[in-house]
Each structure stands twice: as C-alpha cells, then as structure tokens.
Amino acid sequence: MSYTLQQLSEKLNGELQGKASKKIINVAEIQNAGTRDLSFLANPKYIKFIESTKAGALIVGKDFKEEYPNLIKVDNPNLAFSKAISLFRPSPANLKPGIHKTAVISKTAILGSDIYIGPNVVVEDDAVIENNSIVYANTYIGNHARIGAGTIIKPNVTIYHECVLGKNCLIHAGTVIGADGYGFVRTDSNIIKIPQAGHVIIHDNVEIGSNCSIDRGTLGNTEIGKGTKLDNLIQIAHNVKIGEYCFITGQVGVAGSAEIGNMVTIAGQVGIVGHIKVGDRAILTGKSGITKDVAPGSIMFGFPAQESKIARREMAGIRTIPDIRKRLKNLEKKLKDKDKE
C-alpha cells in the first residue's frame, strides 16, 4: 500500500510543503524512518533527530519553523499521525458474525444481530448482547449483564452478573468487571464479609486495558464515564465514580467511594485513598499518593501529594540539607576555635 504526499496531505487535512508526487509506503518513528516512510514530530525532545532522520516526510504542527524537504503541516500532529497509522497498518478485519459451536449460551439470553461469539464463551441467563458486538474466546458474561452495541470484548474477560457496558467499548484480555468489592467487618473473633450487592456501569466509548479489575458497588454502582481510557493493571474499587474522558495509566489504584471528575489525567502508579474527590481536569503525576480532595485543575505531585510547585520546591530544599549541615558544622568549629582564643 502506498500514497503520494499529495494524497496523504488531503487525507490528513494538512498543508503540504514538498514534493507532491513522492510516494510513501509505511510509517515509522522519526529516529528509525527510511526514505519512503512517513514520521511525525510533536514532542520537542525529538527535534534533535531532524538532522539525522531519513524520513521521506514529517507530520508537524503548523507553527513548525525548522527546514525539512517534505512536511505535512497540521493542527494536531499526534492525531494526524494516528490517522496515518490506520492508513498504512489497518486493524485486522472484524470477525464474521456467528456463534462458535463450543459457546454455551443460555436459552434466555438475548442476542442482537450481526454479533460474533467465539469458542468457549459462556453467556448466562437473561444476559443481553446488542447488535454488532464481538465477544472473543473464553469470555464469561454473567446473569442479566448487558453488552452495548458495537462493543468488543477480547479473550478471557470476566463480566459478572448485572454489569452494564455501554456502546462501542473495548475491553482487553484478562480484565474482570464486577468482582466483589473489598468489604469486611472485623469482630472480636472473626472477619465477616459485607455483601457486595451493587453493580458496575461502564458508559459508551470506554476502553479498559488488560488485566484490570473493576469492583462492583456495595449497594450503589461503580461507574466509569463516557470516553474514559484505562491502561493495563488498574484497580478500581467499589462505588468509585470516574468521570468522562479521563486518562488513567498503568498500575493506578483507586480506593472505595473516591470520585474522579471529568478530563482528569492520572499517571502511572498513582494511589488514591477512598472517599475523596478529584476535581475536573486535575493532573496527578506518577507515583503520587492522593490523600485528600484535589481542586479542579490542580497538578499534584509526591507523597503525600501536594501542588506540584510546592512539592518540587520542598524536594529542592531537601537536596540542600547536606550542604547546609556541612556549612553549619564549619561555623560551629569556627565559633569553638574563637572561644578558645
């Protein structure tokens, strides 16, 4: 598959500066690109590669000032390059509708049209799978669960009873949705389990990475808002509410009944205690420990997390302590020597 730069600029809604007839056959990272590859430059850290790259053309922002033989200038280089990847490396074609002979489907389950159900899938009583959904091998869908239209569930996913997934969701392999929340009562001589009788509701266009665990609510619901994207290895505890269009990256843990606003970014290995609120558009930087409410728009850092500017000033101050101690010892020595005179 190949495209001329003129064709690519049109498909990407870009402005071409260079040879319109040049043919491009693939996409590649800027540091590895060859003369017939298309690459992109969005992060300033990679500007150093512009002198050494052999890329046939670069996708760049409209404010890009550097010289390069072939450029496609766009409003959003990351978005344009993602479209280019789809052009040169389209996803595998969806499976043809049908139900594999080894699937076990309850007689009371409701199946929509044009769905695919793979080998060894189990669909329990009164579960609903809406039109154009795809359920890959070895997945379990419990009683009264509902899978929205166009949703894709990868292999080995477990969806417990009464969980609801919206339209056009993507659930990656190994994820568990609707397991019991971590609820117990300690007595003088025992630990008693609190029944987890709530549900999980996942709204439209949510993507959940592999090996995540989304616990059901105790009485109410655990919810993930429209358009939110979860990375791999994430734990969402019972009764957590996550807003719309959030980014949550790997190894994040959110404790019970925490509330995450809309458009929040949570970096890797962040821990969030229960029963707190994180405001809209907040950014929680990597490894932060969130122990109290976070105001909308805040950038949090450290453990316990503080506003990033304050936390970084404190860290800078801590680094000066050895030097301060050394200077203090020298002053004490001078004072002692002076007293002896």
User: So what's the pLDDT on residue 148?
Assistant: 98
Is the pLDDT at 6 greater than 80, yes or no?
yes
DSSP states along 33-71: --TTEEEE--SGGGGGGGGT---SEEEEETT--S--SSE
Cβ atoms < 10 Å from Cβ of 266: 27
Active site residues per annotation: 238
What homologous superfamily is domain 3-88 in, according to CATH? Answer: MurE/MurF, N-terminal domain (3.40.1390.10)
Give the CA-trace dihedral at 41, 43, 47, 53, to 10 degrees.
-40
Domain ranges of the chain: 3-88, 98-310, 311-340
CA distance 129 to 279: 34
Residue type, position 139, single letter: T
What is the spatial order of strands in the sheet that 213-215 belongs to? 104-105, 122-123, 140-141, 158-159, 176-179, 213-215, 235-236, 253-254, 271-272, 289-290
pLDDT digits (tens, 9 = 90+) for 163-175: 999 999 999 999 9
CA distance 234 to 305: 20
Strands 306-307 and 235-236: unpaired
pLDDT digits (tens, 9 = 90+) for 292-325: 999 999 999 988 888 877 777 777 777 888 888 8
- CA distances (Å), 176 to each of 181, 232, 246, 249, in order? 12, 12, 20, 17
To which residue do tokens 């070895």 refer?
A: 138
Is the pLDDT at 206 greater than 90, yes or no?
yes
User: So what's the pLDDT on residue 22?
Assistant: 96
pLDDT digits (tens, 9 = 90+) for 41-63: 998 899 999 999 999 999 999 99
Task: Please tell me which of 39-43, 46-50, 65-69, 121-125 the model is most confident about, judged by mean pLDDT.
Answer: 121-125
pLDDT digits (tens, 9 = 90+) for 68-106: 999 999 999 999 999 999 999 988 877 899 999 999 999
User: So what's the pLDDT on residue 308?
Assistant: 75
Cβ atoms < 10 Å from Cβ of 9: 24
- % of residues, the chain, pLDDT over 70: 99
Tokens (6 digits) for 299 = 């950038």
Is the pLDDT at 340 greater than 80, yes or no?
no
Is the pLDDT at 20 greater than 80, yes or no?
yes
Collapsed DSSP state (helix, strand, coil) of residue 257: coil
pLDDT band at residue 341 under the 50/70/90 scheme = low
User: So what's the pLDDT on residue 277?
Assistant: 98
Q: Is the peptide bond before 304 cis (omega within 30 degrees of 0)?
A: yes
pLDDT band at residue 280 under the 50/70/90 scheme = very high
331 class by beta-carbon count within 10 Å (0-12 exposed, 13-18 middle, 19+ buried): exposed
Q: What is the mean pLDDT of the chain?
A: 94
What is the CATH topology of the domain spanning 98-310?
A: UDP N-Acetylglucosamine Acyltransferase; domain 1 (2.160.10)
Tokens (6 digits) for 283 = 């950014």
Residues 6+ apart with CB under 8 A from 300: 282, 283, 284, 285, 288, 290, 294, 306, 307, 308, 311
